[in-house]
Amino acid sequence: MNGWLVINGFLNSNKFNEIYEWLRIAFEGKGHVINVYTNIELADIDEIKDKPDFVLFWDKDIPLAKRLEKMGLRLFNSAKAIENCDNKALTYIELEGMVKMPETVIVPMTYRNIGYGNTDFVKKAADKLGLPMIIKECYGSFGQQVYLAESVDEAVKIVEETREPLIFQEFISQSRGRDIRINMVGQEAVASMIRYNESDFRANITNGGSMYNYEPNDDEIKIAKKAADILNLDFGGIDILFGDDGPLICEVNSNAHFKNIYECTGVNVAECIVEYIEKCLAG
């Protein structure tokens, strides 16, 4: 196979570069050609003379992804799947009524140059969801841009200090500082771990959390598969909370980093992605 790995040209850190290298090594290790392009290099592309067999789109540049698809390229993941996962409000809309999630309120849209001058909606959300409640910026990774508001006043302050799109969510107290990460490739749960943090309500490793290998039960696998299927994901990381009545979908990541889960489980998700793309193109 001859493929492209598309990455973001503005993200230049060891955390990201290491993932790109793992992917490159995984493809080349199976005898495939993989050429790496940044979204900067592809920004002015008008046509493709030698089309690759596939594009591994490891970025969130949705307009570029849609342009490449319009040129007839097969993207893993698709532009629509990445878009719906990147925006937490869209993720909720796609999954609402299909899988169990914390009760959620989508904050009215404002403009970045205006901000939230009217915050009457905050108290209404708190009345519906209860306190404390979770406030999430719609665009954010690694548990960043996620806040826990203990009171309406605290929630209003958080809202007033950001000009980003937001959602409010019910706080699942029994899952405080604890969740399950399941890495899905195709419809297979290829690696799973529990993340936990005794000093933070977020379980993310980046925020100081810890992890251990975990074998998810049937209900947890079922909800992860269903979420991935609804979002039309080729691969991704599904974050699951522990609810009183069973698992709840917390978030879905289309470009989930997999170094931590490799260190935890010994499963190289990059190799699983290569095998999945091979099967898709063979078939």
Summarize pLDDT for 225-256 with one digit per residue, the tens.
999 999 999 999 999 999 999 999 999 999 99
The answer to whether residue 144 scores a pLDDT higher than 80 is no
Q: In the prediction, which pLDDT does 231 show?
A: 98
* CB 240, CB 224: distance < 8 Å: yes
The answer to whether residue 261 scores a pLDDT higher than 90 is yes
Q: In the prediction, which pLDDT does 15 show?
A: 87
Residue 135: count other Cβ atoms within 10 Å of its Cβ: 22
| Dist. CA 264–CA 192, nearest whole Å | 9
3-state helix, strand, coil in the chain (%, to 5): 35, 25, 40
Contacting residues for 28 by C-beta, under 8 A, at least 6 apart: 34
The answer to whether residue 210 scores a pLDDT higher than 80 is yes
Higher pLDDT, 198 or 229: 229
> If you average pLDDT over residues 138-164, what whole number do you get?
90
Where does the pLDDT of residue 142 fall: very low under 50, low under 70, confident under 90, or very high at 90 and above? low
Question: Given the structure tokens 């950001």, which residue do they identify?
Answer: 162
pTM value is: 0.94
Mean pLDDT, all residues of the chain: 95
Least Cα distance to 59 among 19, 30, 98, 114 occurs for 19
